[in-house]
Structure 1
Amino acid sequence: MIYIYRGKSGRLFSDLTYADVLKAHKRISSYIEQSPLKYSHSLSAANDCELFLKEEHTSRTGSYKERGALNKLLTLSESERGQGVVCSSAGNHAQAVSFHSTRLNINAVIVMPSTTPFVKVKATESFGAKVVLHGSGFAEAYQKAVDIAEAENRVFVHAFNDRDVVAGQGTVALELLKQNAYLDSVVVPVGGGGLIAGMALVLKHVNPRIKLYGVESKEMSGMRASVDAGKVTKVGRQQTICDGIAIETVGEIPFKIINELIDDIVVVNEDEVAASVLTLLEKEKTVVEGSGATPLAAIIYGHLKVKGQQVAAICTGSNIDMSVLSRIIERGLVRSGRIARLAVTIKDSPGELAKVLSLISQTRANVRDVEHERAFLLASVQQTQPILTIETRGYDHIEEIMALLRASGYEDVKLSTPRS
């Protein structure tokens, strides 16, 4: 007998089942290694919970996307394999399809937006697929891939709106429960919805008491908007460091599952994500892309109530452009108070700036940059306002510096960076 889920509404909502995920796991298990589930002592202590990191970013292509792509490819008939496949993606799905198509001797074409970072294009090509650059965004690349599928009679491998892909992604949850059967909550990044939908089929079947939370970027929260509207709802494309989950229109297939089985979907902002990428780099010595850091951001910044719980955060990918990573690190340092900008009004006379710098050095802060403001300063013409970019130990250190400056006669001292 095939088990059909009944969700919150009591209605039948999906013919995808736990059994489909089990079949997917049987197909792909000889090709894909189980990803680690790592207990984080430092993050657990900092967030008053037992926090585990499911390290999907350690896979061969750097993301969980291998699971769904491989399962889809393995379900193709010999005839379909001979036709070849095509997909559209700006990153993780592209590399997953390229890598496993080559392993299975299937000809693959990957359509990527022309704006895709060069390093991701080369990585996709290095796995063996042909890359076609087209359009300025995902929508145009997607349409080009559809056109190629029709013109060349190729099988289209969708990144998330596909039954076999969703079932493949759900194998993350099978591993997770095998590694820790006592979890209270699981937190998952949400883009098109394939991963969390597949995981929901497993978690809510095996242990319905486990809370399953999705996390989106505030800049593009299509699943949150869709759940609120009760139907798939398109959102406008925005720039975000969470490019791996920057989806304008979520999948119909995963949406039906998510709308019935997920406990909540929360959104996090860019600064929270940047700080979380930095936290993982510093505390766990691991590089995770913005999308993969969203679960940790939701936990650290209080968007989810998980105090005292055993919680798993799914770190979905590590494919990040180094120039983007450097900017994320800078933003993370600002968010955590390790880089700050102070505006100090002083007399415009020789030696005055040196006095300020000397005071700052007494606190063992490092001055990285100095800018002068004269023309637009709303103060006496005998005054100037140096804007100092400084490296500190955190917000307490910043307060110490500001207090010392004020006690030394510099009363107009302002912190010009946002406080966390």
Structure 2
Amino acid sequence: MITIDQIKEAKKNLENVVQETPLSKAPILSEIFNSEIYLKKDNLQLTGSFKLRGAYNRIANLSQEKRNKGVVAASAGNHAQGVAYAASKFGCEATIFMPEATPLTKVSGVKSYGANVVLHGENFDEAYAAAMKFKEENNVEFIHPFADDDVIAGQGTISLEILNEIPDLKQIIVPIGGGGLISGIAIAAKSINPDIKIIGVVASGARGMKESYKAHMPIDSASVRTIADGIAVRDVNPKLLDIILDYVDHIVEVTDNEIANAILFLLEKHKLVVEGAGAAATAAIMHEKIEIEDSKVCAIVSGGNIDVTMLSQIIEKGLVKSYRKLNLIVTLMDKPGALMNLTNIFTECSTNIVQIDFDRNSVKLEFGEAYVTIALETKGEEHQKLIKEKLKEKGYRFKQI
């Protein structure tokens, strides 16, 4: 069993390498939920994720002989960057197996630290199997992303930092993938304060650990599909499940839409770039999955390595959902002045056009008609209602997309 002494020893190994990341109050969430809500911003860690803590501690504890042979790892991205960075610091060769769909920003990050990257499989578990085969064939040390005592101890250093600043904290909310992060945090936190509550958060598209926690036995997910690639783990490790059953008070789940809302909220309100897994704990608070009123709570923002394409999609959908963008297809008579008459309506409504496109060739159109696809900046739900009413008054046929 991992002890608080091992976690304290890990903290010594990480000195002068890992940053003690900011722990800041979230004023908007605190006001909404009448609580003191804090964010532990490990998205601002070197390599952009908490994973550096465990990976560095593991390699620091290897013998020089084993380092000389090299290391191998499997990861959806953040552990890979942690291993690559740590290996570069110790001068050992690292080979990282990553799922083929891993975001480019994470692949590039791993390569930037000098590691060899092999893209293999549709998910973490398939990449893991390939990495284990490589380990056996090449006699190198495997650096497990979560089911390893040194890795778990490294992740547990987050609790030491949090409780050093806020010793009377009531709850810590932690995203769960494989379970290494929450295990380390829970062991450290409960050792310091047995009354503190540790709440885990899984993605609805990767809920194996939640089902296993409920059943008190490992239940692997049939499939995994979530925008939170950092916690998209299919198989449940029995050792980690035992720790979680002993130390974790409750596990909840959040949907991809809820995670996306949290990503946009953290970006807009807190100026934090956060990936899906990193936003899961905040999503659980925002969408009231946890009882927190009149409490003092810390949400772990575990990583910030989000693909720019994914971020742009989340922003776009968020603008539409919050009535700040309106996308329409309007049917026009294809004749001079028709477009000007349409845009005059938008001018009257003080609406800015951000994109416009024409289609004269659709088989659904009558001859002499055109579709105009138009994107508008709007100022809320009432503003959008006004625009639609004006279009109807002028006899336009349109639909919202």
Structure 2 CA distance for partners of 1:330 and 1:159, relative to 1, 3 Å: same
Rounded Cα–Cα distance in structure 1 between residues aligned with 2:341 and 2:281: 45
> Is the deviation greater in 190-199 or in 381-390?
381-390
Task: Name the SS of the counterpart of 1:170 in structure 2.
Answer: helix
- 2:260 is the counterpart of 1:274: yes
- 2:234 is the counterpart of 1:248: yes
Partner of 1:3: none
Structure 1 residue 385: deviation in Å? Answer: 8.8
Rounded Cα–Cα distance in structure 2 between residues aligned with 1:76 and 1:365: 62
Structure 2 CA distance for partners of 1:279 and 1:113, relative to 1, 3 Å: same
Rounded Cα–Cα distance in structure 2 between residues aligned with 1:270 and 1:257: 27
Structure 1 residue 293: deviation in Å? Answer: 1.0
Stretches of structure 2 that go unaligned for 5 or more consecutive residues are none
Structure 1 residue 398: deviation in Å? Answer: 3.1
Structure 1 residue 126: deviation in Å? Answer: 1.6
| Contact in 2 for aligned 1:266/1:303 (Cα 8 Å) | yes
Task: Name the SS of the counterpart of 2:271 in structure 1.
Answer: coil
Partner of 2:132: 146
- 2:44 is the counterpart of 1:58: yes
| Contact in 2 for aligned 1:163/1:253 (Cα 8 Å) | no
| Contact in 2 for aligned 1:194/1:251 (Cα 8 Å) | no
Structure 2 CA distance for partners of 1:398 and 1:183, relative to 1, 3 Å: farther
TM-score, scaled relative to structure 1: 0.84
- 2:18 is the counterpart of 1:25: no
Partner of 2:247: 261
Partner of 2:151: 165
Given candidates 289, 304, 314, the residue that maps to 1:303 is: 289
Q: Which amino acid aligns with 1:18?
A: I
| Contact in 1 for aligned 2:124/2:232 (Cα 8 Å) | no
Partner of 1:109: 95
- 2:362 is the counterpart of 1:362: no
Q: Which amino acid aligns with 1:134?
A: H
| Contact in 2 for aligned 1:40/1:53 (Cα 8 Å) | yes
Q: Which amino acid aligns with 1:242?
A: A
Rounded Cα–Cα distance in structure 2 between residues aligned with 1:357 and 1:219: 43
Partner of 2:221: 235
Deviations along 1:68-100, one digit per CA (max 9) or x if unpaired, are: 111111222233223321111131101100111
| 1:181-200 map, 5 Å | 181-200=167-186
Partner of 2:55: 69
TM-score, scaled relative to structure 2: 0.87
Structure 2 CA distance for partners of 1:369 and 1:238, relative to 1, 3 Å: farther
Structure 2 CA distance for partners of 1:390 and 1:71, relative to 1, 3 Å: same
Q: Which amino acid aligns with 1:276?
A: A
Partner of 1:313: 299
Partner of 2:384: 398
Partner of 1:289: 275
Structure 1 residue 35: deviation in Å? Answer: 0.8
Deviations along 1:314-338, one digit per CA (max 9) or x if unpaired, are: 1111112222221222122233332
Task: Name the SS of the counterpart of 1:186 in structure 2.
Answer: strand
Task: Name the SS of the counterpart of 1:68 in structure 2.
Answer: helix
Task: Name the SS of the counterpart of 2:37 in structure 1.
Answer: strand
| Contact in 1 for aligned 2:332/2:396 (Cα 8 Å) | no
Rounded Cα–Cα distance in structure 2 between residues aligned with 1:128 and 1:88: 16
Given candidates 146, 164, 169, the residue that maps to 1:178 is: 164
Q: Which amino acid aligns with 2:82?
A: A
Structure 2 CA distance for partners of 1:294 and 1:334, relative to 1, 3 Å: farther
| Contact in 2 for aligned 1:99/1:127 (Cα 8 Å) | yes
| Contact in 2 for aligned 1:275/1:333 (Cα 8 Å) | no
Rounded Cα–Cα distance in structure 2 between residues aligned with 1:187 and 1:399: 39
The size of the alignment, in residue pairs, is 398
Rounded Cα–Cα distance in structure 1 between residues aligned with 2:323 and 2:383: 9
| Contact in 2 for aligned 1:276/1:332 (Cα 8 Å) | no
User: What percent of counterpart residues are identical?
Assistant: 38
Task: Name the SS of the counterpart of 1:150 in structure 2.
Answer: helix
Rounded Cα–Cα distance in structure 2 between residues aligned with 1:320 and 1:46: 27
Q: Which amino acid aligns with 1:147?
A: K
Q: Which amino acid aligns with 2:44?
A: T
Structure 2 CA distance for partners of 1:202 and 1:390, relative to 1, 3 Å: same
| Contact in 1 for aligned 2:358/2:370 (Cα 8 Å) | no
Task: Name the SS of the counterpart of 1:69 in structure 2.
Answer: helix
Structure 2 CA distance for partners of 1:389 and 1:156, relative to 1, 3 Å: same
> Is the deviation greater in 138-147 or in 300-309?
300-309
- 2:35 is the counterpart of 1:49: yes
Structure 2 CA distance for partners of 1:209 and 1:411, relative to 1, 3 Å: farther
Structure 2 CA distance for partners of 1:387 and 1:201, relative to 1, 3 Å: same
Rounded Cα–Cα distance in structure 1 between residues aligned with 2:394 and 2:108: 57
| 1:199-238 map, 5 Å | 199-238=185-224
> Is the deviation greater in 50-59 or in 119-128?
119-128
Task: Name the SS of the counterpart of 1:317 in structure 2.
Answer: coil
| Contact in 2 for aligned 1:28/1:70 (Cα 8 Å) | yes
Deviations along 1:304-359, one digit per CA (max 9) or x if unpaired, are: 23233322111111112222221222122233332234577x89697787666544
Task: Name the SS of the counterpart of 1:281 in structure 2.
Answer: helix
> Is the deviation greater in 85-94 or in 133-142?
133-142
Rounded Cα–Cα distance in structure 2 between residues aligned with 1:186 and 1:193: 15
Rounded Cα–Cα distance in structure 1 between residues aligned with 2:386 and 2:170: 41
| Contact in 1 for aligned 2:71/2:140 (Cα 8 Å) | yes
Rounded Cα–Cα distance in structure 2 between residues aligned with 1:195 and 1:97: 16
| Contact in 1 for aligned 2:42/2:300 (Cα 8 Å) | yes
